[in-house]
Chain A
Amino acid sequence: MKKRHIRKEVKSVRLQMTSMIDVVFLLLTFFVMTLKIIEPEGDFGIKMPLLPAQASITPQIDEKTEPIRIRLISDAQGNLANIKMGDALLGPETQSLRARVIEIVGLSTTNNRPHDLEAELDCDSQLHYQYTIDAITAISGYRSEGRIIPLIEKVRFADR
């Protein structure tokens, strides 16, 4: 008798859910429509002050501030043909560029601080931008066990 009574009560409490579902679907469609998937974008900071005209007259090139000159040579299609660092040709692989940078910098980077050396990129005009970013990536650091180990943070483009 008691059980039957309970069942009767449950049946009597019937929620009117139509309007709620209407609103919920409306919200759902709104959020589906406004969803904009953005890939995470990172960036490389580059500081390039315009050199004053007098600077070229009195070159005060210090041994310490002399930048590492890296030349990116492109073929006619805009692909990377060769990398030149100083006088040495390194081939078209940015990995070997990174290896050279580690050679120069690696021993003196302590406590994960970027080296205060400066790198100057001299790129062929028709080189695809992707290769330039590849080279900047190779110069500025590498990933090791999920962490980023910085190498040279000051990168600038050569004046042409």
Chain B
Amino acid sequence: MDMTSMIDIVFLLISFFMIAVNFSNAEQNAFIRLPKSELAVPPKVPPDEALSLQVTENGLVLFNNQEYEIDDLERPLSFERRLYDLRGIDPKTVVVLIRGDGRCETGKIQRILKECQEQNFETFNLKAIATSGDGRD
């Protein structure tokens, strides 16, 4: 049985999947459909210190693998701030990544920003999916 070509293809597949796989454990909830934007460029350098807040369509916030109502965000956020204080990191330098669903209400996003501001987090990154076309596809 001549298996040379089969092995060729199998190795090709392996190398493809090896390159395509990424083990980054960035928190990304698949149910959140990010807004689209033509100017959203992936950051060249990932931020040193970042908190990731994910906002679902109906305004639930996923943070550290737990669900919170917006009004309940104060406790986990102040806890994070205390941790940063202990490590001697200024919360102002911490980037808050906001992965908000495109169908969520802007007012809710603003309330989340406000909760973060009250804990001295003031640098925000609003995440969006990059499109090459004109904003919507």
Residues on A facing B (Cβ under 8 Å): 17, 21, 24-25, 27-28, 31-32, 34-50, 72, 78, 94, 123-134, 136-137, 140-143, 148, 157, 160
Contact = CB atoms under 8 A, between A and B. Distances in A.
12 contacts: A34-B21, A38-B26, A40-B130, A41-B127, A42-B40, A44-B128, A45-B123, A125-B107, A125-B110, A127-B106, A129-B109, A157-B110
Contacts of A25: 10
Contact of B3 (A21, A32, A78, A131): A21
B interface bracket (residues with beta carbon within 8 Å of A): 35 or more
Contact of B39 (A36, A42, A47, A127): A42
A142 B21 CA distance: 32
B97 A43 contact: yes
Interface stretch (B11-19, B60-68, B73-81, B82-90): B11-19
Given A38-B22, A132-B109, A47 B35 contact: no
Nearest to B20: A35
